[in-house]
């Protein structure tokens, strides 16, 4: 069950997620979030004592939402590869941003431990879900790596067709 937040904390999390997906862990500040949300910096600190607390919460929530979306999609589509391709493609098209945990993962060694842990959890959960669907560990790693890489290349070239081309071989 996902943790529930009050309206202000939720707005802070939404703002932080967007900023992290755009600029990584070092790409946001409490002051910037406070301005965007329309509160004082102290209010951000009230809800999240430290930047690492906020980033870990954002990553945890992102993971939970993503995995619920996968589970929901699996109720309607039996082909696990299609479900995962569609989930990543939808995130790419709707948000126009990288996977939050991929962004954080690129600087994992320099992140606070709590943020590293939540970032790693996304990938562990993803691989576990893929493995539990009947894929081998190698197939699961290949699918997840291809999806993350396809998303990156698509954003670099500003073409969704690059994503589609890259994932075609997964089918």
The domain limits of the chain are 7-170
Decide if 79 contacts 128 (C-beta within 8 A). Answer: no
- In degrees, rounded to 5, the angle at the alpha carbon of residue 157 between the alpha carbons of residues 153 and 73 is 50
At the topology level of CATH, where does 7-170 sit? Tetracycline Repressor; domain 2 (1.10.357)
pLDDT band at 1 (very low <50, low <70, confident <90, very high): low
Residue 2 pLDDT: 64
- Quote the tokens at residue 17: 């997620």
CA 116 to chain centroid = 13
DSSP 106: T
- Distance, in Å, from the CA atom of 147 to the CA atom of 87, rounded to the nearest integer, reads 10
Question: What are the tokens at 125?
Answer: 């959960």
pLDDT digits (tens, 9 = 90+) for 81-137: 999 999 999 999 999 999 999 999 999 999 999 999 999 999 999 999 999 999 999
User: What's the confidence (pLDDT) of residue 5?
Assistant: 75
Helix (H), strand (E) at residue 165: helix 160-167
- The pTM (predicted TM-score) of the whole model is 0.92
In the chain, the percentage of residues whose pLDDT exceeds 90 is 93
| Mean per-residue pLDDT, 66-75 | 96
Neighbours of 164 (CB within 10 A): 13
How many Å is the maximal CA-CA distance in the chain? 50
């Amino acid at each position: 069950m996902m943790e529930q937040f009050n309206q202000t904390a939720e707005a802070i999390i939404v703002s932080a997620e967007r900023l992290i997906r755009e600029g990584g862990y070092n790409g946001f500040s409490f002051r910037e979030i406070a301005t965007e949300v329309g509160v004082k910096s102290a209010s951000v600190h009230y809800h999240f004592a430290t930047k690492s607390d906020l980033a870990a919460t954002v990553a945890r929530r992102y993971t939970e939402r993503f995995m619920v979306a996968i589970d929901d999609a699996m109720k309607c589509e039996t082909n696990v590869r299609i479900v995962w391709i569609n989930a990543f493609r939808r995130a790419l098209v709707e948000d126009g941003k990288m996977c939050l945990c991929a962004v954080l993962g690129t600087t994992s060694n320099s992140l606070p431990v709590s943020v590293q842990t939540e970032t790693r959890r996304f990938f562990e959960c993803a691989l576990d879900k893929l493995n539990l669907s009947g894929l081998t560990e190698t197939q699961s790693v290949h699918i997840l790596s291809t999806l993350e890489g396809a998303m990156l290349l698509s954003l670099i070239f500003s073409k969704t067709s690059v994503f589609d081309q890259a994932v075609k071989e997964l089918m």
